[in-house]
Copies of this chain bind each other. A is one copy, B any other.
């Protein structure tokens, strides 16, 4: 049973997250590298990954401070990936959340380095005593973050995504790309907090299935919004995928079937929570929010 509305919960989580990011990357710095890191991180992000962590902690009956640093670490990995993805050699985007991208603001070199330093900072947070008092569990959390971020996850997905440009790829290949590119980190956003909150194996698996379907759902919705959304609402250049000639769910399935696929993934995500001996409303609410989001 949830004790506050989803809007209140989001506000509470975001306030908490922003406050910690403000401490870690303070405003008053004359160092361009730190300014670029802050610019890339404190930029009005939705903080969905930390929010999923807080919802997981709530579900498992743990205080938010058990998952604060895990959420922040994942958010820093997410932030660094956006900085590098936006670079001219990659997606070449000049606008992110309605503002100039990091390399437009600070130059390419500092943007590349800001991304590099954000990744190191993310991993550093997972191996400081903040994430867990049990060293073995802390190592497990750090390991999973590395795997979700690197060659087995996010970076591999981004690489394959770029390599698939102007190529005909199958639905299975597209799914594989997105399960790595965005799915791995979203899964980690639920798994790592669940590990920190001592979830048993069965619960961990159910939460993983939830996050896995949610992650793909999130991506299919993103592909759909890239077509039906407007630049002013999205805060990024609309139609960017089409101009890059990337395969998307709508391009492979058509808009209607892509929407149906998103609905199906949504239902699978919710179903994964069935039978959990916990209050799961918040995660259901978040899944609903994501499937209905306009930006």
Q: How far is the CA of A121 from the CA of B123 in the complex (A)?
A: 11
Beta-carbon contact of B128 and A163 below 8 Å: no
Beta-carbon contact of A158 and B113 below 8 Å: yes
Question: Does A22 have its Cβ within 8 Å of any Cβ on chain B?
Answer: no
Residues of B within 8 A of A33 (CB): 151, 155-156, 159-160
Q: With A32-B159, A127-B127, A135-B139 as given contacts, are A150 and B110 in contact (CB-CB < 8 Å)?
A: no
Min CB distance, A111 to chain B, in Å?
A: 8
Classify the interface of chain A: helix, strand, loop or mixed: helix
Contacting A163 at CB < 8 Å: which of B32, B115, B135, B136? B32
Nearest opposing residue in chain B for A158, CB measure:
B113
Q: With A135-B139, A142-B142 as given contacts, are A155 and B124 in contact (CB-CB < 8 Å)?
A: no
Number of A residues whose C-beta is below 8 Å from B?
A: 45
Q: How far is the CA of A97 from the CA of B24 in the complex (A)?
A: 38
Residues of B within 8 A of A119 (CB): 116, 119-120, 150
Beta-carbon contact of A127 and B113 below 8 Å: no
Min CB distance, A24 to chain B, in Å?
A: 10
Identify the A interface with B (CB < 8 A): 31-34, 37, 80-81, 84, 87, 89-90, 107-110, 112-113, 115-117, 119-121, 123-124, 127-128, 135-136, 138-139, 142-143, 146-147, 149-151, 155-156, 158-160, 162-163
16 A-B pairs with C-beta separation under 8 A: A32-B163, A80-B116, A87-B109, A89-B108, A89-B109, A90-B109, A90-B112, A113-B155, A116-B119, A119-B119, A119-B150, A120-B147, A120-B151, A121-B146, A123-B146, A124-B150
